Amino acid sequence: MSETTITRRELKRSNYSDSSETLSLLLLPRPLSASDLSSAAKPGSRIRVAYQGVSGAYSESAAQKAYPNCEVVPCDQFDTAFQAVEQWLVDRAVLPIENSLGGSIHRNYDLLLRHSLHIVGEVQFPVRHCLLANHGVHIEELTRVLSHPQALAQCENTLTKLGVVREAVDDTAGAAQLDGSISCRIIHLICVYVQFVAFHKLKDTGAVASAGAAKIYDLNVLAKDIQDDSDNVTRFLMLAREPIIPGTDRPFKTSIVFSLEEGPGMLFKALAVFAMRNINLTKIESRPQRKQPLRSLGDHSNGSLKYFDYLFYVDFQASMADPIAQNALRHLEEFATFLKVLGSYPMDVSLT
């Protein structure tokens, strides 16, 4: 159903008021889906930045921190955000790559290699969870709370003390939309359905999301900073079609991916090219090769011995404009079976 066919008719069916406030909610941006990618980008002077999620998601705030005054474009999937940049529908994408509590977002590591985008920056965004509910609802009236599984886990102590039932959906802002909604099974990323939620006015349902989501979806903040650990930070990557020219005027980080032959000490040799040059590694992540996840190692009495074949993603603190970094990668190329620079970009040293 399109956004233009759901307004007054559907509101009447659901017994919603035909107020200007109601209709204005229907104008919130609908996340891009794969079917939208054939559309031409709208001309405009502001930079267009894709993120995964819906309005009010932490990813939207991260995109706005990375590119102030940008036009944010929500996407329903990580893949869609990558494709939106590749197909010139948007200028940039800002996507999460790791969380200080939850660890790596493996899907985006895989997509970095599958797509031809370049990392041009990073942004570290502190996650501050809030407990939201409809206006007039008191915290002691809540019997269930909705959110992303990771967000619920990060607020376990608070929610346990409240004694509420926890129900997981796919996106923290989506949970705010579903507060008092028909069912969690509704695909929350279809934003036109989300607007109905705020008008159900259930008295027993809350959501864990951002304070920004409360403003957008007209919910009340019952409690702020309910996460168990105050040091909850998500690192986002800024992605573009073209790389930036690395410099040496400020701290830079370089991200690479490589593969190695199987053998004793091969990974040690790979990492040693950085250690011997005093280059600090800030991240290493291994992912199985998608096309050939298993290799056979010679003959074995019970058949070929199989082992996982890995790709190694590494971040290190150096600019590709620095000869030391260039020499390290030349050294690595001598025995790596595959090597690709994903980007060399300024480090984000702030947590505001």
Token digits of residue 97: 């790559």
Output the CA angle 284-286-288, nearest 5 degrees. 165
Output the CA angle 53-54-58, nearest 5 degrees. 70
Beta bridge partners of 259: 311, 338
Among residues 236, 258, 274, 312, the one annotated as catalytic is 236
Q: In the annotation, is 160 catalytic?
A: no
Q: Determine contact, residues 200/180, Cβ cutoff 8 Å.
A: yes
Q: In the annotation, is 236 catalytic?
A: yes
- C-alpha distances out from residue 15 to 107, 184, 199, Å: 41, 20, 9
With a CB cutoff of 8 Å and minimum separation 6, the contacts of 299 are: none
Among residues 80, 205, 234, 254, the one annotated as catalytic is 234
Token digits of residue 197: 């939620």
175: nearest Cα among 163, 159, 160: 159
Annotated catalytic residues are 234, 236
